[in-house]
Structure 1
């Protein structure tokens, strides 16, 4: 008599040490995010040379830089539901291929109009990639280390952006600005086939979609060789119950998830507004405070350096404490440091130190938001929920470009700008805290309902 064994894939992942298959997912996810970081930052590297060769102004370059951000927002909004319907892998492979092709096309641009169009199309692919990487990694990570692994992967963004800067510094004088775009396009086109053949689909996604058992078993064999056999069935009975018959969009906007979704959107919007405004305008603000261009570069570098260190530390802490309280306190502390920074602009050493601390808090906490959203939604709607947080949050980044320019046009001082930025920091903290409190109340209410039902 043949005995069929039921395997809980969520418990299988949680009960075992992280294996080679999961490490491969993390490595490939890191590579995707690094390519993403390189491509997002690429126009900043070549902008000075474009101004020199084409005679364009900062005002003319503004739409070029904003086009990619708009594409990022729309790409994230569209890609999430697609990934929840067709799978994380297919969307990731297509998005990497897509932004590689359009980055190559950008290298052939002959005027500003082409640049704007091609950067918008590139942004669509970039926007689809980032949140789906976080979704896939979170679904292969044990619950005990999910936040840390997601933050490790998202550190690739800084690595890609910084590495691209060093490469651009060598390539532009020797090969011209288009060579950087060619490299930024060729690398994704090389990586896409590797993803197609080596990157596994989310096993949790396949179980929720009731994929053929043989397809699931092949992935389970990579996760835990010898555990499954030809008679095994697969399920996730230990996972939170979701209304799988509903569309991912309906789940994200359902009564159970609506408030949390709104708070994630508000928090990420405010957080990206703050970080992008600082990243774009900090060099100018520091220079106009009486420092040299080199001093401004040092301050900005320390702000960026704090990001990956903060990401790893906060990701590690999120797996060991209440993530909502941790992130809310981090944003509040960062906001306080912003206010202090505005008060000590005449002390260069303090400006550098505080810039590092602020980068640690905000860049680190922003990475933590990816882990927070991935753990909030059920498998059936995880890609949609995480992607929509990214898509709506990106409009905060778009708005920051105009807000920063308006602040400077109005003659705001160093202290006024950084004092004002403490407001979105506080708003982000309150949104995360409200989400955590609401979630705790929902769990308490669910516990009471179970107790009442059991007592009947």
Structure 2
């Protein structure tokens, strides 16, 4: 009997729910801490007498650190264990966030934010892979949606906290207040989150994996059943050489598709998040209205991330992700038309921008969360964290490119925002092509249940000495 069959037969336990809640909290704090420099920027620039251009490296440093940390963290997770790397990542970004609050200048801040980014980036692929390998197969896509929502929710929490803390106490307290809970969460993670049973099976054998599965599910597991399963399980040698099989011909379409899709969706997302308020202000919307559109984008993005799991369960990942791309293209493509209309009839702009921002956030979040769900299931166990980490790294690199390209396009076109939105639409189309390139999509839940039922019948037949059963 495979690990997946053991988990599926026994369902979601209280321990599973505690693990998901703890890892969701990690990603919420990840989202909070990532936004700290951007939210504190106006106050810090006044205090240090800096221009926006001079402060830019501090904002880019965390994104660059995330790009490095995501790739390195995924590889370390395959080599040393997902749990160990996740705990180390939380410790690193918690300490470094508080240290950044004591910065005395822009160079020191940028260096500390880069190290923070290493922790942010390394946490993400290991968090996703841990949840995917600890939960029953039928619950994974919905859990991926919750994880996708968590980082977005962290940005919203950070914005709400900044409104209260920075005016009253200053930006240094903002870093301290947001960094401290990350370290407190570390104690919860140590007690709550176990190692991946697949990693334990590969490294320590079936008895250790059976004990872990027994603790997770609340019922004993026979180690002999797991030994029977895994002539196909990743050997310890494979785990010690993570990524060795990643860049091979069987993974060609998966790699190219995921790398392209992650790059394009992160580019579009960051460009919208960074520059939408400025674009809407150019269109004549008030500053409050511009921020309102951004808030609606985030709120609908949270809904999109959560709904992704349910949509994939019904339709499968390919139709769901392509649907998210088409919705985003339609919403972003309509924005320049609404900009022109708002200049002629200002009353038409406010509500229209809220609707389009919400639809864009919904579609992009479905795609973002769905790609992570595909990545956690498509790569083989011995290189799963590495594969997802490398794919996400392409997105982190695109984050820097999106922020810079958006500003450059707006500077070149001045009052004409059509080119800005056209660049985002082009990125979304590229994302759709990447999704279509991927050759290992998630099937609808009913199809997966049928396949697992057939596998169970075959396993039972072999146990009775009838290899053709099922």
Q: 1:238-257 counterparts in 2 under 5 A?
A: 245-246=237-238, 247-257=241-251
Match of 1:94 in 2: 88
Q: Cα distance 1:243–1:223, how it changes in 2: closer, same or farther (>3 A)?
A: closer
1:270 to 261, 264, 267: 264
Q: Per the alignment, in what secondary structure is the counterpart of residue 220 of structure 1?
A: helix
Q: Cα distance 1:92–1:334, how it changes in 2: closer, same or farther (>3 A)?
A: same
Q: Cα distance 1:127–1:213, how it changes in 2: closer, same or farther (>3 A)?
A: same
2:429 to 426, 429, 432: 426
Match of 2:448 in 1: none
Q: Cα distance 1:314–1:240, how it changes in 2: closer, same or farther (>3 A)?
A: farther
Deviation at 1:216, TM superposition (A): 2.4
| 1:8 and 2:2 correspond | yes
Deviates more, 1:352-361 or 1:155-164: 155-164
Deviation at 1:364, TM superposition (A): 2.5
Deviates more, 1:193-202 or 1:103-112: 193-202
CA distance in 2, matches of 1:427, 1:19: 40
2:169 to 153, 163, 175: 175
Q: Per the alignment, in what secondary structure is the counterpart of residue 410 of structure 1?
A: helix
CA distance in 2, matches of 1:243, 1:399: 39
Checking the alignment, whether the CA contact within 8 Å between 2:243 and 2:382 is kept in structure 1 is: no
Checking the alignment, whether the CA contact within 8 Å between 2:266 and 2:396 is kept in structure 1 is: yes
Match of 2:403 in 1: 401
2:385 to 373, 383, 386: 383
Match of 1:374 in 2: 376
CA distance in 2, matches of 1:361, 1:240: 38
CA distance in 1, matches of 2:332, 2:245: 37
Deviation at 1:232, TM superposition (A): 4.7
2:413 to 383, 404, 411: 411
Match of 1:116 in 2: 110
Checking the alignment, whether the CA contact within 8 Å between 1:136 and 1:202 is kept in structure 2 is: yes
Q: Per the alignment, in what secondary structure is the counterpart of residue 277 of structure 2?
A: helix
CA distance in 1, matches of 2:87, 2:362: 31
Checking the alignment, whether the CA contact within 8 Å between 1:14 and 1:144 is kept in structure 2 is: yes
TM-score (norm 1): 0.90
Deviation at 1:196, TM superposition (A): 1.7
CA distance in 2, matches of 1:365, 1:74: 23
Checking the alignment, whether the CA contact within 8 Å between 1:328 and 1:430 is kept in structure 2 is: no
Q: Cα distance 1:340–1:191, how it changes in 2: closer, same or farther (>3 A)?
A: same
Deviation at 1:420, TM superposition (A): 2.5
Q: 1:28-427 counterparts in 2 under 5 A?
A: 28-209=22-203, 211-228=204-221, 232=224, 234-235=226-227, 237=229, 245-246=237-238, 247-345=241-339, 346=342, 347-348=348-349, 349-412=351-414, 413-427=416-430
CA distance in 2, matches of 1:265, 1:358: 21
Q: What is the aligned-residue RMSD (CA, Å)?
A: 2.1
Residues 122-152 of structure 1 show CA distances to partners (whole Å, capped at 9, x for unaligned) of 0000000011111111112222221111111
Deviation at 1:212, TM superposition (A): 4.5
Unmatched 5+ stretches in structure 2:
343-347, 444-467
Deviation at 1:91, TM superposition (A): 0.2
Q: Cα distance 1:228–1:272, how it changes in 2: closer, same or farther (>3 A)?
A: same
Checking the alignment, whether the CA contact within 8 Å between 2:254 and 2:440 is kept in structure 1 is: no
Deviates more, 1:216-225 or 1:312-321: 216-225
Checking the alignment, whether the CA contact within 8 Å between 2:65 and 2:117 is kept in structure 1 is: yes
Deviation at 1:265, TM superposition (A): 0.7
Unmatched 5+ stretches in structure 1:
1-6, 441-453
Checking the alignment, whether the CA contact within 8 Å between 1:203 and 1:216 is kept in structure 2 is: yes
Residues 291-318 of structure 1 show CA distances to partners (whole Å, capped at 9, x for unaligned) of 1101101111111111011111122111
CA distance in 2, matches of 1:384, 1:262: 15
CA distance in 2, matches of 1:87, 1:437: 25
Residues 67-122 of structure 1 show CA distances to partners (whole Å, capped at 9, x for unaligned) of 00000000011111111111110000000000111111101100000011000000
TM-score (norm 2): 0.88
Q: Per the alignment, in what secondary structure is the counterpart of residue 226 of structure 2?
A: strand
Q: Per the alignment, in what secondary structure is the counterpart of residue 413 of structure 2?
A: coil
